Amino acid sequence: MSAHQLHRSLARLNLRCFNVRPQRVQILRTPTAFYESLIERCDRATTRVTLSALYWGTGPLALNLAEAVARAASRGVAVNVTLDAARAGRRDEDGRTSVDALAAVEEAGGDIHLVDASGRSGLIGEILGVYHAKACVFDDATLLTGANLSEEYFRSRQDRYVVVRDHKVADWYDQAVRAAAAAPDAGERARALRELCTGPAPAPPPRRRRFHRSRRRPAATLFPTAQVRDILDLDARALSAVLDASPRCGLSTAYANPPPAVVEALGRTAATVVVPAPDTHGFAGATGAKAFLPLAHARFAWDLATKLKGSGDVRAWAAPRETYHAKGCWAFSAGDERRVGATVVGSSNWNVRSHRRDVELGAALVVRDGALRRRLGDEWRRLRARARDPVSEPPAWTALLRFFLRPFA
């Protein structure tokens, strides 16, 4: 698998692309580094701050971030916060919502947008579909992640955090968030994001030629992607394109419930899939019906491991007092996991829900630069190091959960 082949696979989807300098791509490691970067970039912003997430937390760290965003707005920075309407309306134990947490931002002149992704409010709205897109834009820097803007994601919930400093990339994600927020319904949202994502088919970079040094190949190319329910599926198609072009890869998801197309693509490559163990699942310790979700996803993970037997394996991420929410794909260069030729990063969980019900934003990044390949390889191996054990079979009764929760979990 070469970068040229990966580029051609993604180019067939007619996606727009941006050449980026590898030294302007930064990979953050921890939830704490993610939070500190958000605060620092808010305080340094001079032109814009655009934050997109499922919801905004009401804990002290989230309130502190809201104050930093409000300070930016008071300096004249254009501030845009976009959240899901149903999830942002959920009240915490003290009766506060995401909108309450952002009161200071609104008072300072920032714009708050709530996206009605399902046409229903409350818990029913969350079940039917949500605005799940995550992207943070500060001036000319874009932070791509799967993390929400709440307490646990700033302290102990591991995710991915890739920062790209490029004004064209930042313009694109700023426009994508605004277009998604302005659309009146899912159909219009899909149309607007499709127009942003697609364009003239990008020509693949020229192969290396001995006497044509002026035609240098770009060191890294970013393809933005989006997903809107089952209407626009560019996220899923980009992932499948990378998997099909990769003889060996790593995949990470917080919810091991991939749709059939992803399972088939994983079966055609040698894949290592990392998922949370039941005690590091995001819903570990939950009460009521949500208490069944870790076991349901343990069943999904076991089902996936059974399907991939002989071609790949599924491993459980374990760490004391932490939970796992990282999602993405790493295509290994020449099968060597120390060097990553392409990565897919963003908000999608690569599960049935993300592909059929939610709104997502992401990116596929094709890399030719050796140093950036190694840094992405280090990111994968650090996550993989905590997933030493294969997933184990959960109790037999959990098979019943498969039928009730698979379309929504």
The structural domains of the chain, ordered by start, are: 3-199+218-405 (3.30.870.10)
Identify the CA nearest to 166 among candidates 218, 201, 216: 218
- Range in 61-75, 205-219, 243-257 with the lowest mean pLDDT: 205-219
- Range in 109-113, 322-326, 396-400 with the lowest mean pLDDT: 396-400
Is residue 214 over pLDDT 70?
A: no
State the average pLDDT for the chain.
Answer: 91
Q: Give start and end residues of each alpha helix (H) in 245-279.
A: 260-267
Cα torsion 270, 276, 282, 287 to 10°: value is: 130
Is residue 7 over pLDDT 90?
A: no
The predicted-structure confidence for 36-60, as pLDDT tens digits, reads as follows 999 999 999 999 999 999 999 999 9
Classify the C-alpha dihedral 12-17-21-26 as positive or negative. Answer: negative
Non-local CB neighbours of 195 within 8 Å, separated by 6+ positions: none
Q: What is the pLDDT of residue 402?
A: 75
Is residue 217 over pLDDT 60?
A: yes
- Range in 77-91, 163-177, 191-205, 293-307 with the lowest mean pLDDT: 191-205
Residue 204: pLDDT band by 50, 70, 90 thresholds? Answer: low
Q: What is the pLDDT of residue 211?
A: 43
Cβ count within 10 A of residue 198: 15
Is residue 77 over pLDDT 90?
A: yes
How many percent of the chain have pLDDT more than 90? 74
Q: What is the mean pLDDT of residues 292-317?
A: 92
Q: What is the pLDDT of residue 85?
A: 95
57 touches 18 (CB < 8 A): no
Taking the C-alpha atoms of residue 44 and residue 393, their distance in angstroms, rounded to an integer, is 49
Is residue 150 over pLDDT 80?
A: yes
Joined together, the tokens standing for residue 327 give 């999602």
Q: What is the pLDDT of residue 168?
A: 97
| Maximum average pLDDT range among 41-55, 324-338, 384-398 | 41-55
- Range in 204-213, 228-237, 395-404 with the lowest mean pLDDT: 204-213
